[in-house]
Structure 1
Amino acid sequence: MPSDTAVLVDPDTYVTGVPYEALARLRHRAAVVWVDEPDGPGFWAVLRHAEVRHVLRDAAVYSSHLGATQIQDPRDERALRFVRQMMLNQDPPEHSRLRGLLARAFTPRAVARLEDRIQAWAVELVEAAAGRAEVDFATDIAADLPLRTLAEIFGVPVEDRWLMYDWSNRVIGYQDREYATSARATATGSTEMARRALALRPRPDADGFLPDQRTREGMPDLYAYAHELGEHKRREPGEDVMSNLMREVDEDGGRVSVGEFENLFWLFAVAGNETLRNALPGGMIALMSHVDEYRRLLRNRELVGPAVEEMLRWWTPVMRFRRTATVDTELGGTRIRAGDKVVVWFSSANRDERVFSDPDRFDATRAAGEHLSFGHGPHYCIGAHLAKVQMRALFTALFDVLGEVEPAGKPVRLRSNFQNGIKHLPIRRRL
């Protein structure tokens, strides 16, 4: 039988579910445990809530930049330099500059316009599904709302939005061959800009694998589209958030470069899309697994806000992120050397018995604010507010239009030890 740490790192584990029992045993043993890495030097897994928070807020000791934020090291120095350009893989002060400009671009007017449209889109998506005997909640309902929101943020023509769906599948689903090679966007009905990008889409090799999606060469279609869009925003800014960003000037008089825009586009199109696309079906599974809580929400819509926070804790879409120790240090009683990989495991911290009573139970009235699904510290997710707006809007629309639904088949999970993903979730209205 494989050890708990071997189970933790094996992507095949997650096809049947997150190994919460193994995480609980490891967490009981220590706050920090060593995990052997099949194709690498190994890493420290940080499993308890307090220690995860500590790592996330101390960027000076636990760097996002030094080795980037995925467990697997980039294949060479050139690949490392490339991923370090992304805001996700930067440390203060470079990270602070770009994040500050981006935060200012989310003006109250822009956010208010987004919230109004999100609510309308949520109702539209649920109503479109209402006349069908059975729907796939993951693909027919949940997938489109984050795409429409991201298209609005970037000023992307709505007909091009499924490009972002395909790009996130390729990046996040690299451990799942079906997901990584899926393609929903087509040239039919797309803009000229999208058609030019689609012509550059890489093809799988003889073994069915795509080039490394963490390199610029592996995503030529995304970067071609982002470059053309960024140049357009610079010349002809609109009313969207990214046009606001291109207007912003930092304290030194500098602006966001087109190259920085391209990397932000990658980050939002992938991370901003996939995380919410999995949080929504995860929330649906939480409700269908706890029918009494589901019916409680149907009776009292004021609980939708707290319930969304609990969905994010109970499901935890992004399961882990890496940091790299910059100096010799100690964490949770464990000595860590400079250069060691330190991986915070959100799926464990969000079920830490020291913080959450009866942590495996979904409780719509649980006090919000303790979960770490959006991170903590300088890298706290800048899109957290809009993600919660989308979740509240979609579940409110579902309660209003469909009422109570039930599973119409088994969910199909993503093969990934990074994203707690759902590829398919068939549901039907409970009669």
Structure 2
Amino acid sequence: MASDAATVMDPDTYVRGVPYEALARLRTRGPVVWMDEPASDAWPAGPGFWAVLRHAEVRQVLRTPQVFSSQLGATQIRDPSTPDALRYVRRMMLNMDPPEHSRLRGLLTKAFTPRAVAAIEQRITGWARDLVARVADRDEFDFAVDVAADLPLLTLAEVFGVPAEDRWLMYDWSNRVIGYQDPDYAVSATADTTGSSAMAREALALRPTPDAHGRMPDPRTREGMPDLYAYANALGEAKRRAPGDDVMSNLMRHVDDEHGRVSLAEFENLFWLFSVAGNETLRNGIPGGMIALLTHPDVYQRLRADRSPLPGAVEEMLRWWTPVMHFRRTATEDVDLGGVRIAAGQKVVVWFSSANRDERVFADPDRFDVDRKPGEHLAFGHGPHFCLGAHLARVQMRAMFDAVLDTFEALELAGEPDRLRSTFQNGVKHLPVRAA
């Protein structure tokens, strides 16, 4: 029988579900435990890392970037394959430490304030209702694909100034980046040129194809995503010529490798981050929330009768499902954490899926309880890298479930959920449902 650590590190585990029992047993050993890093698929074995499993220690790591760096080794467990790849991904805001991180984040914050989100909230509500209405008369439908997938795409296209007809490019890019461990997603080609812009057609012509072994190039490198970067540059130039009120137009006012506040590499990587991270978390958070309601029909009926607990229910969905399961940091110095000595240069991985079920913070943590005190979960992170789009994500989730509850008296599973093979994203590829 595989050890708990080996179970947690095996991507095949997650096809059956997140190994919460294994994480709980590891958590009882201590707040910080050593985990080996075995070879997996095309990735060679790594040096191992310290897994941070309890809520308090995860918060401590995330709020002290001077000790636990996002930039030294970037934020994925697996090291980038070459020094050049590491240098490039360090220009992504996700992989920066203050003050560079603060500089870029400052250019983006006004697009995500409650006031800015309120300005598009009515449109988000309309999109959610349209998406649900589109499937209301079907005997059966795939909630993950037919409903949940499009709302974050429509919202991102609006906020960032991507032509709406090109939004499915972001879906395709997300599949390849987040789903690199899943044979369906890694080589998916969900986007096509029908009705798309000339920019999209030119970018898709650069899309890489699988090699003789069926593998795509590493999506964490510039060379692995030539279509995304070509589209980013084309869209940036279009915004420079005809700026609007969107995020991309604002960024282009600052892009200049010599005198600007944003370098070209930073701009490209910000677009990568918007297109992938901005889409993928919510794309899986919404189906995860639906699974929570489908497996707790009493809660569905309670929310249908009284919508006032819905904001708290959304917070509990995010805690109970936790779309992003972990992020990596690198110790900048020798440090004590949770009773263990961590050496400078070692990997430190905060495990949100464990921290959000820490018995020290959440009573009966495996139970889905919409009456929990909100605001304690770490689904959006903590500290300087707290998710910039958290408020926008909450608005979208509330709008979606409000529309579902208004439309369907009851829903039930029409088959088993098809889960993403991934140690990073708690993903749902397909969620077949029908009216009960």
Q: TM-score, normalised by structure 1?
A: 0.97
State whether residues 412 and 425 of structure 1, in contact with CA within 8 Å, keep that contact through their aligned partners in structure 2: yes
Structure 2 equivalent of residue 176 of structure 1: 182
Instruction: State whether structure 2 residue 30 is matched by structure 1 residue 24.
Output: no
Amino acid at match of 1:24: A
> 1:364 offset after TM fit, Å?
1.1
What is the CA RMSD across the aligned residues, in angstroms? 1.6
Q: Out of 247, 250, 259, which is 2:265 matched to? A: 259
Instruction: State whether structure 2 residue 214 is matched by structure 1 residue 208.
Output: yes
> 1:76 offset after TM fit, Å?
1.3
The correspondence of residues 316-355 of structure 1 with structure 2, limited to 5 A, is 316-355=322-361
Instruction: State whether structure 2 residue 286 is matched by structure 1 residue 291.
Output: no
Whole-angstrom distance in 2 between the partners of 1:133 and 1:247: 49
State whether residues 88 and 265 of structure 2, in contact with CA within 8 Å, keep that contact through their aligned partners in structure 1: no
Q: Deviations over 1:29-78 (max 9, x none)?
A: 10001001111000000000000000000000000000000000011110
Structure 1 equivalent of residue 391 of structure 2: 385
In structure 2, do the counterparts of structure 1 residues 132 and 388 end up closer, same or farther at CA, with 3 Å as the change threshold? same
The correspondence of residues 340-419 of structure 1 with structure 2, limited to 5 A, is 340-419=346-425
Identity among equivalent pairs (%): 73
Whole-angstrom distance in 2 between the partners of 1:107 and 1:312: 20
Amino acid at match of 2:47: P
Structure 1 equivalent of residue 37 of structure 2: 37
Amino acid at match of 2:18: V
> 1:108 offset after TM fit, Å?
6.3
Q: Deviations over 1:218-261 (max 9, x none)?
A: 00000000011112222211122332344469xxx944344322
Whole-angstrom distance in 2 between the partners of 1:403 and 1:232: 46
Q: 2:46 is paired with a residue of what secondary structure?
A: coil
Structure 2 equivalent of residue 308 of structure 1: 314
Whole-angstrom distance in 2 between the partners of 1:403 and 1:147: 27
> 1:110 offset after TM fit, Å?
4.2
Q: 1:41 is paired with a residue of what secondary structure?
A: strand
Structure 2 equivalent of residue 426 of structure 1: 432
The correspondence of residues 20-169 of structure 1 with structure 2, limited to 5 A, is 20-38=20-38, 39-106=45-112, 110-169=116-175
Whole-angstrom distance in 2 between the partners of 1:183 and 1:5: 34
Q: TM-score, normalised by structure 2?
A: 0.96
In structure 2, do the counterparts of structure 1 residues 107 and 57 end up closer, same or farther at CA, with 3 Å as the change threshold? closer
Q: 1:151 is paired with a residue of what secondary structure?
A: helix
> 1:343 offset after TM fit, Å?
0.3
Amino acid at match of 2:36: D
Whole-angstrom distance in 2 between the partners of 1:353 and 1:17: 20
> 1:404 offset after TM fit, Å?
1.7
Whole-angstrom distance in 2 between the partners of 1:6 and 1:354: 25
Amino acid at match of 1:26: L
> 1:298 offset after TM fit, Å?
1.0
Structure 2 equivalent of residue 3 of structure 1: 3
Q: 1:36 is paired with a residue of what secondary structure?
A: strand
State whether residues 112 and 389 of structure 2, in contact with CA within 8 Å, keep that contact through their aligned partners in structure 1: no
Whole-angstrom distance in 1 between the partners of 2:181 and 2:311: 33
Instruction: State whether structure 2 residue 278 is matched by structure 1 residue 275.
Output: no
Q: 1:419 is paired with a residue of what secondary structure?
A: coil
Whole-angstrom distance in 2 between the partners of 1:111 and 1:347: 28
State whether residues 163 and 185 of structure 1, in contact with CA within 8 Å, keep that contact through their aligned partners in structure 2: yes
Q: Deviations over 1:357-383 (max 9, x none)?
A: 010011111110000000000000001
Amino acid at match of 1:328: D
Amino acid at match of 1:78: D
Q: 1:370 is paired with a residue of what secondary structure?
A: coil
Which stretches in structure 1 are left out of the alignment for 5+ residues? Answer: none
State whether residues 246 and 255 of structure 1, in contact with CA within 8 Å, keep that contact through their aligned partners in structure 2: no
Q: Deviations over 1:245-296 (max 9, x none)?
A: 44469xxx94434432221110010011111100000000011111211211
Whole-angstrom distance in 1 between the partners of 2:166 and 2:234: 13
Amino acid at match of 1:6: A
Whole-angstrom distance in 2 between the partners of 1:223 and 1:141: 28
Q: 2:348 is paired with a residue of what secondary structure?
A: strand
State whether residues 112 and 388 of structure 2, in contact with CA within 8 Å, keep that contact through their aligned partners in structure 1: no
State whether residues 286 and 397 of structure 2, in contact with CA within 8 Å, keep that contact through their aligned partners in structure 1: yes
State whether residues 335 and 342 of structure 2, in contact with CA within 8 Å, keep that contact through their aligned partners in structure 1: yes
> 1:302 offset after TM fit, Å?
0.7
Deviates more, 1:79-88 or 1:96-105: 96-105
State whether residues 143 and 277 of structure 1, in contact with CA within 8 Å, keep that contact through their aligned partners in structure 2: yes
Whole-angstrom distance in 2 between the partners of 1:55 and 1:201: 38
State whether residues 142 and 281 of structure 1, in contact with CA within 8 Å, keep that contact through their aligned partners in structure 2: yes
Which stretches in structure 2 are left out of the alignment for 5+ residues? Answer: 39-44
Count of residue pairs brought into register by the alignment: 429
Instruction: State whether structure 2 residue 199 is matched by structure 1 residue 193.
Output: yes
Whole-angstrom distance in 2 between the partners of 1:114 and 1:223: 27
State whether residues 230 and 262 of structure 1, in contact with CA within 8 Å, keep that contact through their aligned partners in structure 2: no
Q: 2:47 is paired with a residue of what secondary structure?
A: coil
Amino acid at match of 2:228: L
